[in-house]
Amino acid sequence: MDGVDIELTADGSHTLFIPALDEHYHSTNGAIQESKHVYIETGLHYCRKSYVTIFEIGFGTGLNAYLTLEDTINTDKKIQYLSIEANPLPCKVVEKLNYPNQLNAVDADLFVKLHEAAWNKTVKITQDFSLTKIEADLTQFDFNFIPGIDLVYFDAFAPDKQPEMWSQEIFDYLYSLMNDDAILVTYCAKGEVRRRMQHSGFMVERLPGPPGKREMLRAIKQSGNAQ
Ligand SMILES: C[S@@+](CC[C@H](N)C(=O)[O-])C[C@H]1O[C@@H](n2cnc3c(N)ncnc32)[C@H](O)[C@@H]1O
Looking at the domain assignment, is residue 173 inside a domain?
yes
Range of 176's domain? 30-220
**Vertex 154 angle, CA 110 and 59, to 5°:** 35
Q: Is the CB of 44 under 6 A from ligand 1?
A: no
Q: How far apart are CA 185 and CA 216, in angstroms?
A: 8
Looking at the domain assignment, is residue 111 inside a domain?
yes
Q: Is the CB of 25 under 6 A from ligand 1?
A: yes
Packing angle of the helix pair 168-177, 191-200 (nearest 10 deg): 40
Looking at the domain assignment, is residue 22 inside a domain?
no
Looking at the domain assignment, is residue 192 inside a domain?
yes
Looking at the domain assignment, is residue 7 inside a domain?
no
Q: State the distance from the centre of ligand 1 to the C-alpha of 226, rounded, in angstroms.
A: 30
Give the full edge-to-edge strand order of the sheet including 129-135: 122-126, 129-135, 78-85, 51-57, 149-154, 178-186, 215-220, 203-208
pLDDT by 10s per residue, the chain, length 227 = 568 999 999 999 999 999 999 999 999 999 999 999 999 999 999 999 999 999 999 999 999 999 999 999 989 999 999 999 999 999 999 999 999 999 987 778 999 999 999 999 999 999 999 999 999 999 997 767 778 999 999 999 999 999 999 999 999 999 999 999 999 999 999 999 999 999 999 999 999 999 999 999 999 999 876 55
β-strand partners of 149: 178
Q: Which residue puts its alpha carbon closest to atom 17 of ligand 1?
A: 86
Q: State the distance from the centre of ligand 1 to the C-alpha of 57, rounded, in angstroms.
A: 6
Looking at the domain assignment, is residue 10 inside a domain?
no
Q: Is the CB of 210 under 6 A from ligand 1?
A: no
Looking at the domain assignment, is residue 126 inside a domain?
yes
Q: Which residue puts its alpha carbon closest to atom 19 of ligand 1?
A: 137
pTM (predicted TM-score): 0.97
Q: Is the CB of 63 under 6 A from ligand 1?
A: yes
| CATH assignment at residue 164 | 3.40.50.150
Looking at the domain assignment, is residue 6 inside a domain?
no
Ligand 1 atom with the smallest distance to the CA of 61 is 9
How many domains does the structure of the chain reveal?
1
